[in-house]
Amino acid sequence: MDLRHCVIPAAGLGTRFLPATKALPKELLPVLDRPVIQWAVEEAVAAGASEMVVVISEGKELIQQHFTAQPDLEALLDARGKMAELAAVRATDHLASFTWVRQEQPLGLGHAVLCTAEAIGDHPFLCMLPDDLSYGTVPVLRQLVDAHKEYGTPILALMRVPPDQISRYGCAAIAESHGRVHRLSAVVEKPDRREAPSDLAIMGRYVLTPDIFDALRDTAPGAGGEIQLTDGIGALIRNGAVHGVEFTGELLDVGTPAGWLATNAMLALQDPVLGTVLRAAMEVDNR
């Protein structure tokens, strides 16, 4: 089985995090000591991927620099004896190999994935939206890879959400269930809550098979006037089996100011040094 590629769509405008993302790509906002996209790449590597295919748009080239060796910086850190910092910088260079793909127009997530067709070729691949960090014993993408090994089909990450939230997500209809793994009968992007076929939201982590590219080529613009990945997956369901996994653990939002703040606080509290600093800072009565 060849699941070495991971597609990371990073071409979005980051409108939910303005003005921070006016000049800075949202994927480079830090969570603790590293940018959001590095957390994503580390999750993909933990799931067995080694080749990242990142979709960027004009103005987001800074993301490339983060994963490019900076010999001058490394020489300077070396000369100053800053060995921990040097190791951290070098680690980002060696995490994975990268292919950078341009999405010239903001035509939707499905279109962004279609832009990677040539880079991926005829292999199944992982796909992850870097707006959430995986938190838990087994990273979410790893859980999807494990299900793919068992079922051999495309696999989506699913999470139950309250009825008033389902219209923010893609939603999955269930044909049959085996514990936390469901075979899907349909998917619908951002349904009205009264028309949602279930409370299972599609959560931005996928194992996809290369037939998704033909499906996306034939997909007309859907919700929001964009070419939706969910609609392409709908075509795969009509032609064969697609499964969803209700993953264990959590996905932590880092794509909005509130989610980003809560995620930083939660992760910091678990770090011995940062946790002490944060608790002290929260003692507002002592000021």
CB 108 to ligand G1P: min, Å: 8
Please identify, using beta-carbon distances, which residue of 92 and 134 lies nearer to ligand G1P. 134
245 binds ligand G1P (CB under 6 A): no
Chosen residue from 77, 109, 127, 216 binding ligand G1P by CB under 6 A: 109
49/126 Cα distance (integer angstroms): 8
Residue 138 burial (10 A CB sphere; 0-12, 13-18, 19+): middle
Binding region for ligand G1P (CB under 6 A) out of 71-79, 85-93, 225-233, 256-264 = 225-233
Structure tokens at 151: 């079922």
Instruction: Count Cα atoms within 13 angstroms, Cβ side, for 242.
Output: 29
CB 228 to ligand G1P: min, Å: 6
Which residue has the closest beta carbon to ligand G1P?
A: 170
Size of site (CB under 6 A) for ligand G1P: 13
CB 6 to ligand G1P: min, Å: 16
Binding region for ligand G1P (CB under 6 A) out of 85-93, 134-142, 199-207, 237-245 = 199-207
79/74 Cα distance (integer angstroms): 9
Contact residues for 161 (Cβ-Cβ < 8 A; gap 6+) = 169, 199, 200, 201
Binding region for ligand G1P (CB under 6 A) out of 116-124, 135-143, 223-231, 257-265 = 223-231
206 binds ligand G1P (CB under 6 A): no
Chosen residue from 92, 198, 230, 263 binding ligand G1P by CB under 6 A: 230
Residue 98 burial (10 A CB sphere; 0-12, 13-18, 19+): middle
Buried/exposed code over 187-207 (b: 16+ C-beta within 10 A; e: otherwise): bbbbbeeeebbbbbbbbbbbb
Binding region for ligand G1P (CB under 6 A) out of 52-60, 90-98, 196-204, 238-246 = 196-204
Please identify, using beta-carbon distances, which residue of 133 and 229 lies nearer to ligand G1P. 229
Question: Contact 203/247 with Cβ under 8 angstroms?
Answer: yes
66/61 Cα distance (integer angstroms): 9
**Phi, psi dihedrals of residue 152, rounded to the nearest 5°:** 70, 10
234 binds ligand G1P (CB under 6 A): no
242 binds ligand G1P (CB under 6 A): no
Binding region for ligand G1P (CB under 6 A) out of 90-98, 112-120, 145-153, 197-205 = 197-205
* Residue 161, number of CB atoms within 10 A of its CB: 18
203 binds ligand G1P (CB under 6 A): yes
Binding region for ligand G1P (CB under 6 A) out of 14-22, 25-33, 81-89, 202-210 = 202-210
Structure tokens at 152: 């051999």
Chosen residue from 189, 219, 227, 252 binding ligand G1P by CB under 6 A: 189
Structure tokens at 205: 């982590």
Please identify, using beta-carbon distances, which residue of 70 and 165 lies nearer to ligand G1P. 165
Q: Where on the chain is the footprint of ligand G1P (CB under 6 A)?
A: 109, 129, 131, 169-170, 189, 201-204, 228-230
